[in-house]
Structure 1
Amino acid sequence: MNGSCPVDMECAEELKQVANLAFNERKFQQAIDLYTQAIEANPKCAVYYANRAFAHTKLEEYGSAVEDSTTAIELDRKYVKGYYRRGTAYLLMGKFKEALKDFRQVVRIRPNDPDAKRQCRECEKAVQKIRFEEAIWREDTVRRAVSETIDISAMGMYLSRGNHETKGMNKIYGFDGEVKAKFDATMSDLFQEVFCALPLANVLNGKVIVVHGGLFSQDGVTLQDIRNIDRFTEPPDEEVDDSYTGPRLEGEEVTLEFVKTMMEEFRKQKSLHKRYAYQILLRVNEISKATPTLVDITVPEGSHITVCGDIHGQYYDLLNIFEMNGLPSDENPYLFNGDFVDRGSFSVEVIFTLFAFKCLYPNGLMCELLWSDPQPDNGRSPSKRGVGVAFGPDVTSRFLQENNLELIVRSHEVREEGCQLEHNGKLITVFSAPNYCDQMGNLGAYIRFESDMVPKFTKFKAVPHPNVKPMQYATNFMNFLV
């Protein structure tokens, strides 16, 4: 379809049907383009806007989903799907008050619909739980940091913070629930403290900047401005039972043998003892707090570094990366560019593997850094996500020139081929979670840089994992919204 039909309802319906087929084949961007053509043919149909909102939601463009849903409601005040789609988008953005308004409106319009009532109840319970836990969190932060309340009698790995290394996202997308299911609430709180200590960006050989999201809503931001961002907003004394057959730490230091054994136990869906989990977390917290917000990384001649994008709890794909490219070491360093957790239901396994390697090899404007996305047109515009900004090729070019850099590497967005050159080759998006959430069908990728800073790309497919669905540990409302 080329969208050249005359402006009439028949043409619009034809376009909608083709868009629906693309959506069912999980070609969400293609579906958005076709729904847009249908809207151009008939801009007064609420259904087209609601359908496009659903496709935007699948691409995590929640701001655009809210905008389309609102238009659908304005066209038809009794159109249930308009409220439902907008409520969904608000929930996924963490705007619970607005979401509840829309879900309650669904029940008002369909008071006898059992599904609508059930969804509203689940939403109310989940929101109440999150608000309660947030209140407890605020109360606790007035006291002491979690790491201070717990008593305890290297070049090879770099970690950056992503937008999913935040408390709000972890509450919604599953990591918080997974940690509490596999360990306890104290460890969940400690994770938040560790995440706040992770650096926000890395610079390779003074030429390539690696950030999770993207650039800023204004020009003139320097590397020193990033360095100046304040990113900061011993385990319980319990015996390790003789029946525990997993890896054991002898003393305080993490060893390669321990990490390998732990990875193999995780592969078999076995657990790490809580004592050792706390030791790893506390050590990473200590290392990260001593790490600057912007990390300068030197890649000497004859050496290399591998940059990976989002992993999102896909542990078996992380193992596949290591099988393809080798384990982290002083000679084979990695930079994991945020969003290690949430969505995938093996986030605990992913984060402890990465953190254990960080312990083994330790020497190694926040919202916009974590959330922003590139756009093809020059200038800036509101982000489709509803958070951060969308920035164009001119913004990228100015930032690189003003900071004497050559390339931006970022993650944060699914790419069908796992990676994509953008902004006239000055920006690369890399995403390392293939078949994202077991439904997107995308490849994963990682990038290897040698001392000349020329990127070399490796793409890979998803590997099988145990039969645990994505977001198994997410809040209840996620199970019926997505």
Structure 2
Amino acid sequence: MVSSIEEAVAMKEKGNEAFKKHDWPAAVECYTKAIELNDKEVSFYTNRAQANIKLESYGLAVSDATKAIELDPNNVKGYYRRAVANSAILRHSDALRDWKIVLKKNPGDKNARLQFQECDKVVKRDAFLKAIEVEEPSSAAEGLDLDAMAVEPDYDGARLEKEMTEDFIKDMIQRFKGGKRIHKKYVFQIVLAVKELVYEEPTMVEMEVKEGQSLTVCGDTHGQFYDLLEIFRLNGAPSESHMYLFNGDFVDRGSWSTEVALLLYSYKWLYPKSFFLNRGNHETDDMNRMYGFEGECRAKYKADRVFKLFSESFSALPLATLIGAKYLVLHGGLFSDDNVSLDDIRKLNRHKQRQPGQSGLMMEMLWTDPQKEPGRGLSKRGVGLQFGPDVTKRFCEKNGLNAVIRSHEVRMDGYEVEHDGRCVTVFSAPKYCDSMENKGAYINIGPDYKLNYVQFEAVPHPPIRPMAYGAPGLLNMM
């Protein structure tokens, strides 16, 4: 007769096989079954912590690593996993404490030493930024004289005058595909033009799909430029009649984030009334510093001002879009309070609070996730919260909605319909970070307001790894 301990080990081995195949959800399921059979084995928790890190369930990873440390205070993997997870959710001081313990127990670990040094830099940088923080910082556009900025005669790309054109966009796409960049003057022009456009839009844009029109809703693209081009190839380019809504997380992780942001911004400038952008949790300063966008701006355009202007434009983006009074589209999800309504979103002054912080409506709109259980629960990410089907039902009924459409999470099929059809997740970055085997998806909506889901596969891209411009300490998580 096989003992429960032997069964647990067998489940762990199954989990290890799933992990090798990059099937992180199956790995978590197997490790969970192993823990149910034997909850005293440290390796089950550290293995599940690593699988949760791959799934970006950093809060769960911290919990697993902490349990492993409780079972064995000398377990180096527990401290290591917890440090990585805390770094990922920007709890750098907590991570630093664990890196110190890892190095004390294993002083020869060169990777841990590198991560400790990087984490220490981030803690000191954050303290410095907090010390010099002012309530209303001056704009990075101050003193920027675009008229005096010359484009060299030997610049071999299309010229951008005072208005965006389709020809410029087509030329820009070809330049990007060939590994080239556009002139820095044009980057400034595009970002400043879009910043002004989106600043004037309401916090919740309200739009309709009329006869002769269609709308495509896309989820996270995360700097996966070649997959973004695949969406337009399969589904058609944006136009006045073919509207698009990109639901946040355009940048970070993928190593073509500037290309993605500039292409989306160029379409927004060309079609301001039919191309829409919602802010995601990665259109924020702290995430951009950690996950690569700030570093990419510096590496590709050799100027701090490029990132600073993007940052200002991100903070001006709307937080939600209401489609035909039937679907609320926002990046994260619903709220900690059942009394929150569409009117509360309309009234939210996003310009007063540039960054989402750790609490409040803006944070919840960018960070929360659905759960299968009723009610509300602690966030698996370690930031925000989770909301159940009853929460979604009450919100939709109170506000006369068919469903909430959100993004923010990988779905293996590219999308998932949950909460009795009232909560839809769409994710548009296939083979996410080159480490998952997920499809991408987008949603087409016509004047009948039916949701038509389209899946697509990842396409090849040049051999540049994800997070090429991100914090070195996060590279081992990819």
Q: Deviations over 1:64-111 (max 9, x none)?
A: 111111111011000000000000000000011000000100011113
Aligned to 2:173: 263
2-side partners of 1:65 and 1:109: how far apart?
Answer: 21
Aligned to 1:349: 259
1-side partners of 2:109 and 2:215: how far apart?
Answer: 55
Aligned to 2:158: 247
Q: Aligned match of 1:372 in 368, 375, 380? A: 368
1-side partners of 2:248 and 2:443: how far apart?
Answer: 15
Q: How far did residue 376 of structure 1 move?
A: 1.1
- Give the structure-2-normalised TM-score: 0.79
Aligned to 2:348: none
Q: Aligned match of 2:9 in 8, 13, 31? A: 13
Aligned to 2:42: 46
Gaps of 5+ in 2: 275-360
Q: Aligned match of 2:382 in 383, 386, 402? A: 386
Answer yes or no: is 1:144 the counterpart of 2:138. Answer: yes
**2:57–2:380 CA contact under 8 A, matched in 1:** yes
Deviation >6 Å, runs of 4+: none
Alignment RMSD: 1.7
Aligned to 1:121: 117
Determine helix, strand or coil for the equivalent of 1:333: strand
Answer yes or no: is 1:75 the counterpart of 2:48. Answer: no
2-side partners of 1:115 and 1:263: how far apart?
Answer: 38
Aligned to 2:467: 471
Aligned to 1:321: 231
Gaps of 5+ in 1: 154-236
Q: How far did residue 421 of structure 1 move?
A: 1.1
Determine helix, strand or coil for the equivalent of 1:145: coil
Aligned to 1:417: 413
Which AA in structure 1 matches 2:149?
E
Over 3 Å counting, the alpha-carbon distance change for 1:135 and 1:470 in structure 2 is: farther
Aligned to 1:238: 149
1-side partners of 2:470 and 2:255: how far apart?
Answer: 9
Q: Deviations over 1:387-438 (max 9, x none)?
A: 1111111111110110011111111111111111111111211110110001
Q: How far did residue 301 of structure 1 move?
A: 2.7
Determine helix, strand or coil for the equivalent of 1:306: strand
2-side partners of 1:66 and 1:96: how far apart?
Answer: 13
Q: How far did residue 117 of structure 1 move?
A: 2.8
**1:313–1:349 CA contact under 8 A, matched in 2:** yes
1-side partners of 2:476 and 2:10: how far apart?
Answer: 29
2-side partners of 1:148 and 1:407: how far apart?
Answer: 43
2-side partners of 1:135 and 1:14: how far apart?
Answer: 53
**2:223–2:260 CA contact under 8 A, matched in 1:** yes
Q: How far did residue 133 of structure 1 move?
A: 5.3
Q: How far did residue 126 of structure 1 move?
A: 4.6
Over 3 Å counting, the alpha-carbon distance change for 1:388 and 1:149 in structure 2 is: farther
Q: How far did residue 41 of structure 1 move?
A: 1.1
Determine helix, strand or coil for the equivalent of 1:343: coil
Q: Deviations over 1:182-230 (max 9, x none)?
A: xxxxxxxxxxxxxxxxxxxxxxxxxxxxxxxxxxxxxxxxxxxxxxxxx
Over 3 Å counting, the alpha-carbon distance change for 1:426 and 1:68 in structure 2 is: same
**1:19–1:34 CA contact under 8 A, matched in 2:** yes
Which AA in structure 2 matches 1:298?
E
**1:434–1:461 CA contact under 8 A, matched in 2:** yes
2-side partners of 1:278 and 1:327: how far apart?
Answer: 24
Which AA in structure 2 matches 1:277?
V
Which AA in structure 1 matches 2:44?
Y
Q: How far did residue 27 of structure 1 move?
A: 1.0
Q: How far did residue 142 of structure 1 move?
A: 4.2
**2:176–2:259 CA contact under 8 A, matched in 1:** yes
Q: How far did residue 275 of structure 1 move?
A: 0.3
- Give the structure-1-normalised TM-score: 0.78
Which AA in structure 1 matches 2:233?
E
2-side partners of 1:92 and 1:257: how far apart?
Answer: 40
Q: How far did residue 9 of structure 1 move?
A: 2.1
**2:115–2:472 CA contact under 8 A, matched in 1:** no
Q: How far did residue 259 of structure 1 move?
A: 1.0
Q: How far did residue 6 of structure 1 move?
A: 7.3
Q: Deviations over 1:329-351 (max 9, x none)?
A: 10111000000000100000000
What is the count of residue pairs matched by the alignment? 392
Q: Deviations over 1:230-274 (max 9, x none)?
A: xxxxxxx32111121122112x11111111111111111100100
2-side partners of 1:338 and 1:143: how far apart?
Answer: 25
Q: How far did residue 53 of structure 1 move?
A: 0.8
**1:15–1:34 CA contact under 8 A, matched in 2:** yes
Determine helix, strand or coil for the equivalent of 2:66: helix
1-side partners of 2:95 and 2:3: how far apart?
Answer: 34
2-side partners of 1:318 and 1:90: how far apart?
Answer: 30
**1:305–1:334 CA contact under 8 A, matched in 2:** yes
1-side partners of 2:20 and 2:410: how far apart?
Answer: 18
1-side partners of 2:424 and 2:66: how far apart?
Answer: 33
2-side partners of 1:109 and 1:457: how far apart?
Answer: 51
2-side partners of 1:426 and 1:481: how far apart?
Answer: 33
**1:246–1:271 CA contact under 8 A, matched in 2:** no
2-side partners of 1:455 and 1:357: how far apart?
Answer: 23
Answer yes or no: is 1:431 the counterpart of 2:427. Answer: yes
Over 3 Å counting, the alpha-carbon distance change for 1:247 and 1:7 in structure 2 is: farther
Answer yes or no: is 1:287 the counterpart of 2:197. Answer: yes
Q: How far did residue 294 of structure 1 move?
A: 0.4
Over 3 Å counting, the alpha-carbon distance change for 1:290 and 1:103 in structure 2 is: same
Percent sequence identity over aligned pairs: 47
